[in-house]
């Protein structure tokens, strides 16, 4: 057949001059079709290989290898995991649907994946306590990479061993009981009096913003000598407000997102801190006037333990932690008091008795008076139990850990879930009810326990716990003895999973005669 075609083509060539071009065109067309087919097959093969690789990756992701039995649960989609469900809004004080649904399905210990990392979530009091007690042995403090970017690679939560203990001792110079008695109690009392008097002169006040400003002005002054009238520090509070708005948000760093606003707030706040450090390092004769000056002194030692990066990240975390968590707790506390007038009556009875026993009714709160506020202490415990400001406390397994019949692989994260304990009906009767009397007759909690961990637990029990309690007690004292109040608007809460008041909480204050 082939010789015949060659002969036919030759005969055509002798009679029709244009035929070679047609023949060549046909060959080119056939060749092009063949090449297109090969390319299509190659592309299809590559696509199939990619799909197979993706399926294998997804299978390996969802079927993690372990030397033992993993907790039940799902790791969700590769990389994304169950992050979207974790950040889903929850408009109540109740346990988030994310945790509640998984406890119902899998039990109090389950696996999930948040922002690309496999995590074991524990709502089990015994396991939580064990994790806290084994820090530095089987577990260490850990937070997802996005949190580390927010607070800095060398923030105090990411440091371990001797360095963490050293920083904790340093911070207790400011927030320890000795300084609370000597300095901070009277300054806190004065700040509460000034702020409440100022708010009473206004038609209404957005309480969360007002309390945040009050506490920030107080604590930032003790930390860095904060003065809002200084040009260099004027926008510092604004930067932290931007930082907080996106703190616990979906980690997408694109302009317009809450997370991007958070990162910009951090960057601008760090500029202020770096500038302050540079200015003070250049002035060796400057006396110690605030906590930052003590930190600078540590940096000037012949063989300092601190680095400038650790020092800056420490100051940033302290500025944030010193005001935001307490402001949120106090705001939801006033909301709960507004809804429970019986509790307000009992508080007034306790605090008016304190005033009657004073020589001067207008004098400030003393340490003895503060320690005598038994019912107030119960109210504070109940507020922080229901507020659940911290939705999760993270640790990382340093080795394979066998616990409760499960294996937590080395390198996996563990999220201790305080709200799941604080709202457990087997531990707290009618857990969503605001009932300070449930704490009556119980010893004062000075550290994390199996059933109460609002301030953390183990080695990392919050160093600002005493300051937070003093702030809340003095604020309540001044509020119930000098004012009555009513809600103007707002007060709705949303957890994503952090607590916020999307429409604010506006109240009007009325001075008492």
Strands (E), 26-153: 109-114, 117-122, 139-141
Q: Which of 265, 270, 346, 355 has the alpha carbon at shortest distance from 309?
A: 270
Question: What's the token pair of residue 281?
Answer: 């390092």
The answer to whether the annotation marks 417 as part of a ligand binding site is no
At 356 the three-state DSSP class reads helix
The backbone torsions φ and ψ at residue 507, rounded to the nearest 5 degrees and listed phi first, read -130, 160
Phi then psi dihedrals of residue 175, to 5 deg: -105, 5
Give exposure, 319-342, as e/b (b: 16+ Cβ within 10 Å).
Answer: bbbbbbbbbbbbbbbbbbbbebee
Counting Cβ atoms within 10 Å, is residue 481 exposed (0-12), middle (13-18) or buried (19+)?
A: middle
Q: How far apart are CA 440 and CA 300, in angstroms?
A: 49
Interatomic CA distance for residues 125 and 34, integer angstroms: 68
Q: 438 with 382: CB under 8 angstroms?
A: yes
Distance, CA of 473 to CA of 477 (rounded, Å): 6
Strand (E) positions, 202-360? 205-206
**Tokens standing for residue 77:** 């989609």
- 8 A C-beta contact, residue 119 and residue 111: yes
d(CA 224, CA 314): 12
Cα 270 to Cα 279: distance, rounded to the nearest angstrom: 14
300 C-beta neighbours (distance < 10 Å), count: 11
142 φ/ψ angles, rounded to the nearest 5 degrees: -155, 145
The overall longest dimension of the chain from CA atoms, in Å, is: 131
Q: How many whole angstroms separate alpha carbon 116 and alpha carbon 138? A: 22
CA gap 229, 344 in Å, rounded: 37
Q: How far apart are CA 327 and CA 333, in angstroms?
A: 10
Binding residue positions for heme: 462
**Which residues contribute to the annotated binding site?**
462
């Amino acid at each position: 057949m082939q010789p015949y075609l060659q002969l036919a083509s030759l005969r055509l060539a002798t009679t029709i001059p244009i035929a070679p071009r047609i023949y060549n065109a046909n060959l080119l067309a056939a060749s092009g079709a063949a090449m297109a087919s090969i390319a299509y097959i190659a592309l299809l093969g590559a696509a199939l290989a990619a799909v197979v690789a993706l399926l294998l990756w997804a299978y390996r992701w969802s079927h993690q290898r372990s030397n033992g039995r993993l907790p039940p649960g799902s790791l969700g989609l590769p990389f994304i995991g169950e992050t979207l469900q974790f950040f889903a809004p929850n408009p109540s004080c109740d346990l988030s649907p994310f945790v509640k649904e998984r406890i119902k399905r899998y039990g109090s210990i389950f696996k999930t994946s948040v922002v690309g990392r496999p995590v074991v979530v524990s709502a089990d009091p015994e396991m939580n306590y064990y994790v806290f007690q084994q820090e530095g042995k089987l577990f260490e403090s850990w937070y997802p990479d996005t949190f580390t970017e927010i607070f800095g690679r060398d923030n105090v939560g990411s440091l371990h061993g001797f360095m963490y203990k050293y920083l904790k001792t340093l911070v207790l110079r400011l927030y320890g009981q000795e300084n609370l008695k000597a300095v901070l109690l009277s300054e806190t009392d004065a700040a509460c009096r000034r702020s409440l008097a100022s708010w009473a002169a206004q038609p209404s006040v957005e309480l969360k913003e007002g309390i945040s400003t009050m506490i920030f002005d107080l604590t930032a002054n003790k930390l860095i000598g904060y003065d809002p009238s200084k040009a260099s520090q004027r926008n510092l509070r604004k930067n932290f407000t931007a930082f907080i708005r996106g703190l616990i948000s979906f980690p997408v760093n694109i302009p317009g997102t809450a997370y991007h606003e958070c990162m910009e707030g951090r960057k601008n706040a760090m500029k202020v801190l770096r500038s302050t450090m540079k200015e003070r390092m250049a002035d060796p004769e400057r006396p110690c006037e605030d906590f930052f000056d003590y930190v600078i002194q540590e940096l000037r030692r012949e063989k300092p333990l601190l680095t400038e990066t650790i020092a800056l990240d420490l100051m940033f975390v302290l500025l944030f932690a010193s005001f935001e968590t307490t402001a949120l707790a106090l705001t939801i506390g006033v909301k709960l008091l507004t809804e429970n007038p019986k509790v307000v009556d009992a508080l007034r009875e306790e605090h008016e008795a304190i005033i009657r026993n004073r020589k001067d009714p207008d004098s400030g709160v003393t340490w003895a008076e503060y320690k005598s506020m038994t019912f107030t202490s119960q109210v504070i415990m109940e507020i922080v139990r229901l507020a659940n400001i911290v939705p999760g406390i993270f640790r990382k397994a340093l080795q394979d850990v066998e616990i409760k019949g499960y294996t937590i692989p080395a390198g996996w994260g563990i999220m201790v879930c305080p709200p799941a304990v604080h709202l457990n009906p087997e531990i707290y009767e009618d857990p969503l009810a605001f009932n300070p009397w449930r704490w009556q007759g119980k010893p004062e909690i000075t550290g994390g326990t199996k059933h109460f961990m609002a301030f953390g637990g183990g080695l990392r029990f919050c160093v600002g716990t005493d300051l937070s309690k003093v702030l809340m007690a003095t604020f309540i004292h001044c509020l119930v003895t000098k004012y009555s109040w009513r809600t103007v608007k707002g007060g709705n809460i949303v957890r994503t999973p952090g607590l916020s008041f999307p429409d604010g909480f506006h109240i009007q204050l009325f001075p008492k005669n």
